Amino acid sequence: MGMPHFLAIPYPILGHMNPLLEFSQVLAKFGCKITFLSSDENYNRLKSGCAEQSKVIESHIKLVSLPDGVDPDDDRKDQAKVILTTINTMRTKLPNLIQDINALDSDNNISCIIVTKNMGWALEVGHQLGINGALFWPASATSLASFNSIQTLVGEGIIDSETGLPNRKQEIKLSPKMPLMDAVAMPWYCLDNPFFFLHMKEEMKILNLGEWWLCNTCFDLEKGAFSTSPKLLPIGPLMEDEHKINSPFVEDTSCIDWLDQQPPQSVVYVSFGSMVSIKPPSQLKELALGLNLLKRPYILVVRKDNGFGLNNAYVDEFRGSQGKIVSWAPQKKVLSHPAIACFISHCGWNSTLEGVYNGVPFLCWPFCSDQLINKTYICDVWKVGLELEKDENGLILRGEIKKKVEKLLEDEEIKERSVKLMEMVIKNKTEGHKNLNKFINWAKK
Ligand code: UDX
Protein backbone atom coordinates (compact mmCIF):
# COMPACT_ATOMS: atom_id res chain seq x y z
CA MET A 1 0.00 0.00 0.00
CA GLY A 2 1.45 3.39 -1.03
CA MET A 3 1.78 6.48 1.09
CA PRO A 4 -1.33 8.68 1.28
CA HIS A 5 -1.87 11.74 -0.88
CA PHE A 6 -3.22 14.65 1.19
CA LEU A 7 -4.99 17.69 -0.20
CA ALA A 8 -4.41 20.47 2.38
CA ILE A 9 -6.86 23.38 2.27
CA PRO A 10 -6.31 26.26 4.72
CA TYR A 11 -8.71 29.13 5.29
CA PRO A 12 -6.97 32.00 3.43
CA ILE A 13 -5.47 33.92 6.33
CA LEU A 14 -1.88 33.79 7.54
CA GLY A 15 -2.78 32.29 10.93
CA HIS A 16 -4.23 29.22 9.14
CA MET A 17 -1.94 29.12 6.08
CA ASN A 18 1.33 28.95 7.95
CA PRO A 19 0.48 26.29 10.54
CA LEU A 20 -1.03 24.03 7.85
CA LEU A 21 1.96 24.66 5.57
CA GLU A 22 4.27 23.71 8.44
CA PHE A 23 2.20 20.61 9.21
CA SER A 24 2.22 19.67 5.50
CA GLN A 25 6.01 19.82 5.49
CA VAL A 26 6.09 17.50 8.50
CA LEU A 27 3.78 15.04 6.68
CA ALA A 28 6.03 15.27 3.62
CA LYS A 29 9.00 14.34 5.82
CA PHE A 30 7.08 11.21 6.81
CA GLY A 31 6.96 10.37 3.08
CA CYS A 32 3.41 11.50 2.31
CA LYS A 33 2.45 13.23 -0.88
CA ILE A 34 0.95 16.71 -0.36
CA THR A 35 -1.01 18.99 -2.64
CA PHE A 36 -1.48 22.37 -0.98
CA LEU A 37 -4.44 24.46 -2.18
CA SER A 38 -4.20 28.23 -1.57
CA SER A 39 -6.25 31.18 -2.66
CA ASP A 40 -4.73 32.82 -5.76
CA GLU A 41 -3.43 35.69 -3.64
CA ASN A 42 -1.65 33.47 -1.12
CA TYR A 43 -0.36 31.23 -3.90
CA ASN A 44 1.30 34.25 -5.51
CA ARG A 45 2.82 35.23 -2.16
CA LEU A 46 4.16 31.72 -1.72
CA LYS A 47 5.60 31.71 -5.23
CA SER A 48 7.03 35.21 -5.04
CA GLY A 49 8.60 34.69 -1.62
CA CYS A 50 12.28 34.07 -1.23
CA ALA A 51 13.27 31.92 -4.23
CA GLU A 52 15.28 29.53 -2.06
CA GLN A 53 12.34 29.08 0.32
CA SER A 54 9.81 28.46 -2.48
CA LYS A 55 12.19 25.93 -4.01
CA VAL A 56 12.43 24.00 -0.72
CA ILE A 57 8.66 24.04 -0.24
CA GLU A 58 8.01 22.92 -3.81
CA SER A 59 10.51 20.10 -3.60
CA HIS A 60 8.13 18.38 -1.14
CA ILE A 61 4.75 19.89 -1.86
CA LYS A 62 2.71 20.56 -4.97
CA LEU A 63 1.15 24.02 -4.87
CA VAL A 64 -2.20 24.65 -6.56
CA SER A 65 -4.66 27.54 -6.31
CA LEU A 66 -8.23 28.67 -6.77
CA PRO A 67 -9.70 32.17 -6.51
CA ASP A 68 -11.36 32.81 -3.14
CA GLY A 69 -13.67 35.43 -4.63
CA VAL A 70 -12.45 38.24 -2.39
CA ASP A 71 -11.96 41.33 -4.52
CA PRO A 72 -8.54 43.04 -4.21
CA ASP A 73 -10.40 46.18 -3.11
CA ASP A 74 -12.43 44.33 -0.45
CA ASP A 75 -11.47 44.61 3.20
CA ARG A 76 -9.89 41.26 4.10
CA LYS A 77 -10.29 42.14 7.75
CA ASP A 78 -14.06 41.68 7.28
CA GLN A 79 -13.85 38.00 8.20
CA ALA A 80 -17.60 37.36 7.96
CA LYS A 81 -17.47 38.41 4.31
CA VAL A 82 -14.29 36.45 3.58
CA ILE A 83 -15.81 33.27 5.07
CA LEU A 84 -18.99 33.50 2.99
CA THR A 85 -17.23 34.54 -0.23
CA THR A 86 -14.67 31.75 0.10
CA ILE A 87 -17.36 29.13 0.59
CA ASN A 88 -19.39 30.36 -2.38
CA THR A 89 -16.43 30.68 -4.73
CA MET A 90 -14.13 27.79 -3.91
CA ARG A 91 -16.79 25.19 -3.24
CA THR A 92 -18.12 25.09 -6.80
CA LYS A 93 -14.62 24.84 -8.26
CA LEU A 94 -13.16 22.19 -5.96
CA PRO A 95 -14.65 19.01 -7.56
CA ASN A 96 -13.12 19.85 -10.96
CA LEU A 97 -9.78 20.69 -9.40
CA ILE A 98 -9.73 17.33 -7.59
CA GLN A 99 -10.56 15.60 -10.86
CA ASP A 100 -7.67 17.41 -12.62
CA ILE A 101 -5.19 16.59 -9.82
CA ASN A 102 -6.21 12.92 -9.86
CA ALA A 103 -6.02 12.74 -13.67
CA LEU A 104 -2.39 13.87 -13.51
CA ASP A 105 -1.59 11.41 -10.76
CA SER A 106 -3.68 8.35 -11.53
CA ASP A 107 -1.49 6.01 -9.42
CA ASN A 108 -1.82 8.14 -6.33
CA ASN A 109 -5.21 9.83 -6.16
CA ILE A 110 -6.08 12.15 -3.29
CA SER A 111 -6.81 9.95 -0.29
CA CYS A 112 -7.64 12.54 2.34
CA ILE A 113 -8.57 16.24 2.54
CA ILE A 114 -7.18 18.21 5.49
CA VAL A 115 -8.85 21.53 6.29
CA THR A 116 -8.61 24.27 8.89
CA LYS A 117 -11.54 26.01 10.59
CA ASN A 118 -14.09 27.67 8.24
CA MET A 119 -13.24 25.23 5.45
CA GLY A 120 -15.59 22.44 6.60
CA TRP A 121 -17.41 22.79 3.27
CA ALA A 122 -14.38 21.09 1.61
CA LEU A 123 -14.95 18.04 3.84
CA GLU A 124 -18.52 17.95 2.50
CA VAL A 125 -17.23 18.05 -1.07
CA GLY A 126 -14.77 15.25 -0.23
CA HIS A 127 -17.53 13.25 1.45
CA GLN A 128 -19.67 13.46 -1.70
CA LEU A 129 -16.69 12.23 -3.76
CA GLY A 130 -15.90 9.42 -1.33
CA ILE A 131 -12.67 11.04 -0.06
CA ASN A 132 -11.77 10.89 3.64
CA GLY A 133 -11.28 14.08 5.64
CA ALA A 134 -9.57 15.49 8.73
CA LEU A 135 -9.41 18.81 10.54
CA PHE A 136 -6.08 20.41 11.44
CA TRP A 137 -6.49 22.69 14.48
CA PRO A 138 -3.47 24.85 15.26
CA ALA A 139 -4.74 25.60 18.77
CA SER A 140 -5.57 23.80 22.00
CA ALA A 141 -7.76 20.72 22.19
CA THR A 142 -9.72 22.56 24.89
CA SER A 143 -10.70 25.37 22.54
CA LEU A 144 -11.91 22.83 19.98
CA ALA A 145 -13.75 20.92 22.71
CA SER A 146 -15.45 24.20 23.68
CA PHE A 147 -16.67 24.84 20.13
CA ASN A 148 -17.82 21.23 20.02
CA SER A 149 -19.85 21.79 23.20
CA ILE A 150 -21.91 24.67 21.80
CA GLN A 151 -25.00 22.52 21.17
CA THR A 152 -24.82 21.02 24.68
CA LEU A 153 -24.29 24.40 26.35
CA VAL A 154 -27.25 25.83 24.43
CA GLY A 155 -29.35 22.74 25.24
CA GLU A 156 -28.58 23.07 28.95
CA GLY A 157 -29.55 26.74 28.87
CA ILE A 158 -26.04 27.85 29.85
CA ILE A 159 -25.47 30.04 26.79
CA ASP A 160 -27.83 31.91 24.51
CA SER A 161 -28.51 30.09 21.22
CA GLU A 162 -28.15 33.26 19.13
CA THR A 163 -25.23 35.08 20.76
CA GLY A 164 -23.26 32.44 22.68
CA LEU A 165 -23.28 34.70 25.74
CA PRO A 166 -23.95 33.04 29.11
CA ASN A 167 -27.49 33.35 30.42
CA ARG A 168 -26.13 33.94 33.93
CA LYS A 169 -22.77 34.27 35.63
CA GLN A 170 -21.33 30.81 36.12
CA GLU A 171 -18.36 28.54 35.69
CA ILE A 172 -18.54 25.43 33.55
CA LYS A 173 -16.69 22.15 33.25
CA LEU A 174 -16.78 20.63 29.78
CA SER A 175 -15.84 17.22 31.18
CA PRO A 176 -15.15 15.95 34.72
CA LYS A 177 -11.36 16.13 34.33
CA MET A 178 -11.27 19.55 32.72
CA PRO A 179 -10.74 22.78 34.66
CA LEU A 180 -13.59 25.05 35.67
CA MET A 181 -13.85 27.83 33.10
CA ASP A 182 -15.78 31.06 33.21
CA ALA A 183 -18.75 30.76 30.82
CA VAL A 184 -17.92 34.23 29.59
CA ALA A 185 -14.35 33.16 28.72
CA MET A 186 -15.36 30.80 25.92
CA PRO A 187 -13.41 31.16 22.67
CA TRP A 188 -16.29 32.88 20.85
CA TYR A 189 -16.22 35.63 23.48
CA CYS A 190 -15.25 39.03 22.01
CA LEU A 191 -16.12 37.99 18.50
CA ASP A 192 -18.71 40.69 19.03
CA ASN A 193 -20.44 39.98 15.76
CA PRO A 194 -22.89 37.09 16.50
CA PHE A 195 -22.20 35.85 12.95
CA PHE A 196 -19.06 34.07 14.18
CA PHE A 197 -20.83 32.22 16.97
CA LEU A 198 -23.67 31.16 14.68
CA HIS A 199 -21.19 30.19 11.96
CA MET A 200 -19.17 28.01 14.37
CA LYS A 201 -22.36 26.39 15.65
CA GLU A 202 -23.02 25.16 12.09
CA GLU A 203 -19.35 24.63 11.19
CA MET A 204 -18.87 22.14 14.04
CA LYS A 205 -21.59 19.93 12.55
CA ILE A 206 -19.70 19.80 9.23
CA LEU A 207 -16.30 19.37 10.87
CA ASN A 208 -17.72 16.18 12.34
CA LEU A 209 -17.34 14.71 8.83
CA GLY A 210 -13.61 14.75 9.55
CA GLU A 211 -12.46 11.43 11.00
CA TRP A 212 -9.72 13.11 13.00
CA TRP A 213 -9.29 16.46 14.68
CA LEU A 214 -5.53 16.86 14.72
CA CYS A 215 -4.43 19.35 17.37
CA ASN A 216 -1.01 20.93 17.78
CA THR A 217 -0.85 20.04 21.45
CA CYS A 218 0.12 17.06 23.57
CA PHE A 219 -1.91 14.70 25.68
CA ASP A 220 -0.45 15.51 29.09
CA LEU A 221 -1.03 19.26 28.68
CA GLU A 222 -4.80 18.94 28.47
CA LYS A 223 -5.66 15.35 29.39
CA GLY A 224 -9.31 16.03 30.22
CA ALA A 225 -10.09 17.59 26.85
CA PHE A 226 -9.37 14.35 25.01
CA SER A 227 -12.21 12.56 26.78
CA THR A 228 -14.72 14.91 25.08
CA SER A 229 -14.34 13.34 21.62
CA PRO A 230 -12.57 10.28 20.20
CA LYS A 231 -11.71 12.37 17.13
CA LEU A 232 -9.27 14.56 19.05
CA LEU A 233 -5.69 13.49 18.34
CA PRO A 234 -2.68 15.35 19.78
CA ILE A 235 0.10 15.42 17.19
CA GLY A 236 2.28 18.12 18.75
CA PRO A 237 4.10 19.96 19.85
CA LEU A 238 5.13 20.85 16.29
CA MET A 239 8.12 23.08 16.92
CA GLU A 240 10.11 22.55 13.75
CA ASP A 241 10.99 25.86 12.16
CA GLU A 242 9.55 24.97 8.76
CA HIS A 243 9.30 27.28 5.79
CA LYS A 244 6.47 29.75 5.83
CA ILE A 245 4.62 32.04 3.51
CA ASN A 246 6.18 35.52 3.52
CA SER A 247 4.62 37.24 6.50
CA PRO A 248 3.90 40.94 6.26
CA PHE A 249 6.14 41.33 9.32
CA VAL A 250 9.89 41.36 8.81
CA GLU A 251 11.83 39.61 11.56
CA ASP A 252 14.36 41.77 13.36
CA THR A 253 17.09 39.21 13.93
CA SER A 254 19.34 41.71 15.71
CA CYS A 255 17.59 40.79 18.97
CA ILE A 256 19.51 37.51 19.09
CA ASP A 257 22.89 39.30 19.06
CA TRP A 258 21.49 41.67 21.65
CA LEU A 259 20.32 38.75 23.81
CA ASP A 260 23.81 37.25 23.61
CA GLN A 261 25.05 40.31 25.53
CA GLN A 262 22.54 39.90 28.41
CA PRO A 263 23.05 37.85 31.61
CA PRO A 264 21.28 34.47 31.89
CA GLN A 265 17.57 34.64 32.83
CA SER A 266 17.53 38.44 32.95
CA VAL A 267 15.37 39.56 30.02
CA VAL A 268 11.59 40.10 30.03
CA TYR A 269 10.14 39.26 26.59
CA VAL A 270 6.90 41.11 25.72
CA SER A 271 4.85 40.12 22.68
CA PHE A 272 1.16 40.01 21.80
CA GLY A 273 1.17 37.82 18.67
CA SER A 274 0.04 38.79 15.20
CA MET A 275 -3.44 40.18 15.74
CA VAL A 276 -4.01 41.81 19.12
CA SER A 277 -3.50 45.59 19.49
CA ILE A 278 -2.61 47.36 22.72
CA LYS A 279 -5.33 49.98 23.10
CA PRO A 280 -5.97 52.73 24.14
CA PRO A 281 -2.75 54.82 23.89
CA SER A 282 -2.79 55.21 27.68
CA GLN A 283 -2.38 51.41 27.96
CA LEU A 284 0.74 51.43 25.81
CA LYS A 285 2.04 54.27 28.00
CA GLU A 286 1.46 52.19 31.17
CA LEU A 287 3.22 49.22 29.58
CA ALA A 288 6.19 51.34 28.52
CA LEU A 289 6.51 53.00 31.92
CA GLY A 290 6.01 49.67 33.69
CA LEU A 291 8.97 48.26 31.74
CA ASN A 292 10.96 51.34 32.79
CA LEU A 293 10.27 50.59 36.43
CA LEU A 294 11.68 47.07 36.13
CA LYS A 295 15.29 48.11 35.82
CA ARG A 296 15.89 45.00 33.76
CA PRO A 297 16.56 44.40 30.09
CA TYR A 298 13.52 43.57 27.97
CA ILE A 299 12.46 42.93 24.40
CA LEU A 300 9.21 44.64 23.45
CA VAL A 301 7.46 43.73 20.20
CA VAL A 302 5.24 46.53 18.87
CA ARG A 303 3.97 45.59 15.44
CA LYS A 304 3.76 48.36 12.86
CA ASP A 305 0.04 47.68 12.45
CA ASN A 306 -0.57 48.14 16.16
CA GLY A 307 -1.62 51.69 15.36
CA PHE A 308 1.38 53.28 17.06
CA GLY A 309 4.49 54.20 15.14
CA LEU A 310 7.63 53.31 17.07
CA ASN A 311 8.76 56.92 16.92
CA ASN A 312 5.79 58.70 18.39
CA ALA A 313 4.19 56.09 20.60
CA TYR A 314 5.98 56.73 23.82
CA VAL A 315 5.86 59.42 26.42
CA ASP A 316 9.00 61.50 26.93
CA GLU A 317 9.94 59.91 30.25
CA PHE A 318 10.12 56.43 28.69
CA ARG A 319 13.69 55.17 28.68
CA GLY A 320 13.27 52.78 25.76
CA SER A 321 17.04 52.47 25.49
CA GLN A 322 17.02 50.08 28.45
CA GLY A 323 15.40 47.49 26.22
CA LYS A 324 15.19 46.40 22.66
CA ILE A 325 12.05 47.45 20.80
CA VAL A 326 11.32 45.58 17.58
CA SER A 327 8.36 45.40 15.23
CA TRP A 328 8.63 41.58 14.87
CA ALA A 329 10.95 39.17 16.66
CA PRO A 330 12.19 35.68 15.71
CA GLN A 331 10.05 34.51 18.64
CA LYS A 332 10.94 30.81 18.75
CA LYS A 333 14.65 31.68 18.84
CA VAL A 334 14.08 34.42 21.43
CA LEU A 335 12.16 32.12 23.77
CA SER A 336 14.81 29.42 23.56
CA HIS A 337 17.59 31.87 24.45
CA PRO A 338 19.15 31.37 27.93
CA ALA A 339 18.96 35.13 28.64
CA ILE A 340 15.13 35.06 28.75
CA ALA A 341 13.61 35.27 32.25
CA CYS A 342 9.86 35.47 31.55
CA PHE A 343 7.25 36.12 28.88
CA ILE A 344 4.55 38.82 29.04
CA SER A 345 2.09 37.27 26.59
CA HIS A 346 -1.44 37.63 25.22
CA CYS A 347 -1.60 33.81 25.57
CA GLY A 348 -2.29 32.99 21.91
CA TRP A 349 -1.94 29.21 21.60
CA ASN A 350 1.29 29.25 19.59
CA SER A 351 2.93 31.65 22.02
CA THR A 352 1.70 29.53 24.93
CA LEU A 353 3.14 26.36 23.43
CA GLU A 354 6.43 28.04 22.50
CA GLY A 355 6.85 29.45 26.04
CA VAL A 356 6.00 26.10 27.65
CA TYR A 357 8.34 24.24 25.29
CA ASN A 358 11.22 26.40 26.49
CA GLY A 359 10.35 26.34 30.20
CA VAL A 360 9.67 30.08 30.33
CA PRO A 361 7.31 31.39 33.07
CA PHE A 362 4.43 33.63 31.95
CA LEU A 363 2.77 36.89 32.84
CA CYS A 364 -0.63 36.56 31.25
CA TRP A 365 -2.37 39.40 29.50
CA PRO A 366 -5.21 37.71 27.59
CA PHE A 367 -7.51 39.73 25.31
CA CYS A 368 -10.06 37.50 23.62
CA SER A 369 -10.95 34.25 21.82
CA ASP A 370 -9.06 31.20 23.15
CA GLN A 371 -6.56 33.37 25.05
CA LEU A 372 -8.70 33.36 28.22
CA ILE A 373 -8.83 29.57 28.27
CA ASN A 374 -5.08 29.36 27.65
CA LYS A 375 -4.57 31.74 30.58
CA THR A 376 -6.62 29.41 32.81
CA TYR A 377 -4.29 26.54 31.90
CA ILE A 378 -1.12 28.61 32.43
CA CYS A 379 -2.14 30.06 35.80
CA ASP A 380 -4.53 27.51 37.35
CA VAL A 381 -3.78 24.12 35.78
CA TRP A 382 -0.06 24.07 34.97
CA LYS A 383 0.67 26.87 37.47
CA VAL A 384 3.55 28.28 35.43
CA GLY A 385 2.47 31.91 35.39
CA LEU A 386 0.60 34.79 36.97
CA GLU A 387 -2.14 36.98 35.55
CA LEU A 388 -1.75 40.75 35.23
CA GLU A 389 -4.79 42.34 36.91
CA LYS A 390 -6.69 45.26 35.40
CA ASP A 391 -7.70 48.34 37.42
CA GLU A 392 -11.31 49.56 37.63
CA ASN A 393 -10.91 51.31 34.25
CA GLY A 394 -9.76 48.13 32.58
CA LEU A 395 -6.08 49.18 32.38
CA ILE A 396 -3.03 47.22 33.49
CA LEU A 397 -1.04 49.88 35.32
CA ARG A 398 2.74 50.28 35.41
CA GLY A 399 2.88 49.41 39.14
CA GLU A 400 1.04 46.14 38.52
CA ILE A 401 3.52 45.22 35.78
CA LYS A 402 6.50 45.91 38.06
CA LYS A 403 4.97 44.10 41.04
CA LYS A 404 3.94 40.98 39.09
CA VAL A 405 7.22 40.62 37.16
CA GLU A 406 9.13 40.82 40.44
CA LYS A 407 6.75 38.39 42.15
CA LEU A 408 7.04 35.93 39.26
CA LEU A 409 10.82 36.06 39.12
CA GLU A 410 11.13 35.51 42.86
CA ASP A 411 8.86 32.47 42.75
CA GLU A 412 11.16 29.45 42.65
CA GLU A 413 8.20 27.01 42.59
CA ILE A 414 6.84 28.51 39.40
CA LYS A 415 10.30 28.30 37.84
CA GLU A 416 10.63 24.64 38.86
CA ARG A 417 7.17 23.80 37.53
CA SER A 418 8.00 25.55 34.23
CA VAL A 419 11.07 23.35 33.79
CA LYS A 420 9.10 20.20 34.71
CA LEU A 421 6.34 21.13 32.26
CA MET A 422 8.92 21.68 29.53
CA GLU A 423 10.41 18.24 30.19
CA MET A 424 6.97 16.65 30.09
CA VAL A 425 6.09 18.33 26.79
CA ILE A 426 9.39 17.29 25.21
CA LYS A 427 8.70 13.69 26.35
CA ASN A 428 5.25 13.90 24.74
CA LYS A 429 6.84 14.47 21.34
CA THR A 430 7.26 10.70 21.00
CA GLU A 431 3.53 10.24 21.57
CA GLY A 432 2.82 13.01 19.03
CA HIS A 433 4.92 11.16 16.45
CA LYS A 434 3.11 7.89 17.20
CA ASN A 435 -0.22 9.64 16.67
CA LEU A 436 1.00 11.10 13.40
CA ASN A 437 1.92 7.60 12.24
CA LYS A 438 -1.49 6.36 13.35
CA PHE A 439 -3.12 9.12 11.28
CA ILE A 440 -0.96 8.40 8.23
CA ASN A 441 -1.65 4.66 8.45
CA TRP A 442 -5.37 5.38 8.67
CA ALA A 443 -5.13 7.62 5.58
CA LYS A 444 -3.49 4.78 3.60
CA LYS A 445 -6.82 2.94 3.63
C1 UDX B 1 -4.32 33.89 16.80
C2 UDX B 1 -5.16 34.19 18.05
O3 UDX B 1 -5.03 35.55 18.45
C4 UDX B 1 -4.80 33.27 19.17
O5 UDX B 1 -5.66 33.50 20.28
C6 UDX B 1 -5.00 31.82 18.72
O7 UDX B 1 -4.62 30.96 19.77
C8 UDX B 1 -4.18 31.56 17.47
O9 UDX B 1 -4.52 32.50 16.47
P10 UDX B 1 -1.91 35.13 17.36
O11 UDX B 1 -2.61 36.22 18.07
O12 UDX B 1 -1.06 35.52 16.25
O13 UDX B 1 -2.94 33.99 16.92
O14 UDX B 1 -1.04 34.43 18.50
P15 UDX B 1 -0.21 33.11 18.60
O16 UDX B 1 -1.04 31.91 18.47
O17 UDX B 1 0.55 33.25 19.84
O18 UDX B 1 0.77 33.13 17.35
C19 UDX B 1 1.72 34.10 17.13
C20 UDX B 1 2.85 33.50 16.32
O21 UDX B 1 3.62 34.57 15.82
C22 UDX B 1 3.77 32.63 17.17
O23 UDX B 1 4.13 31.46 16.46
C24 UDX B 1 4.99 33.49 17.38
O25 UDX B 1 6.21 32.77 17.43
C26 UDX B 1 4.98 34.40 16.17
N27 UDX B 1 5.59 35.70 16.48
C28 UDX B 1 4.94 36.58 17.29
C29 UDX B 1 6.81 35.99 15.95
O30 UDX B 1 7.40 35.17 15.24
N31 UDX B 1 7.35 37.20 16.23
C32 UDX B 1 6.75 38.13 17.02
O33 UDX B 1 7.32 39.20 17.21
C34 UDX B 1 5.50 37.81 17.56
Is the pLDDT confidence value at 317 over 70?
yes
CA distance 155 to 336: 45
pLDDT of residue 241: 66
Is the pLDDT confidence value at 310 over 90?
no
Mean pLDDT along residues 147-174: 94
How many CB atoms lie under 10 A from the CB of residue 12?
A: 26
| Average pLDDT of the chain, as a whole number | 91
Mean pLDDT along residues 350-377: 96
Is the pLDDT confidence value at 256 over 90?
yes
Contact predicate 232/225, CB 8 Å: yes
Q: Compute the distance from residue 22 Cα to the ligand 1 centre, in Å.
A: 14
pLDDT of residue 242: 65
The per-type count for the chain, helices as H runs and strands as E runs, is 15, 15
Query: Strand locations in 17-131, DSSP E?
Result: 33-39, 61-66, 112-115
Per-residue pLDDT of 36-79, as tens digits, reads 999 998 898 888 766 667 777 787 899 999 999 988 777 777 88
- Pocket test of ligand 1: the residue of 23, 118, 240, 274 to mutate, having most ligand atoms within 8 Å of its CB, is 274
pLDDT of residue 247: 65
Share of the chain above pLDDT 90, in %: 73
pTM for the structure as a whole: 0.94
Q: Compute the distance from residue 155 Cα to the ligand 1 centre, in Å.
A: 33
Q: Compute the distance from residue 276 Cα to the ligand 1 centre, in Å.
A: 9
- Go through 162-182 and write b for each residue having 16 or more CB atoms within 10 A of its CB, e for each that does not: eebebeeeeebebeeebbebe
CA distance 239 to 429: 10
Q: Which atom of ligand 1 is nearest to the CA of 274?
A: 12
pLDDT of residue 405: 98
The sheet with strand 324-326 has its strands ordered as 324-326, 298-301, 267-271, 340-345, 362-364, 385-387
Per-residue pLDDT of 413-438, as tens digits, reads 999 999 999 999 999 999 999 999 99
Contact predicate 380/386, CB 8 Å: no
Is the pLDDT confidence value at 439 over 50?
yes
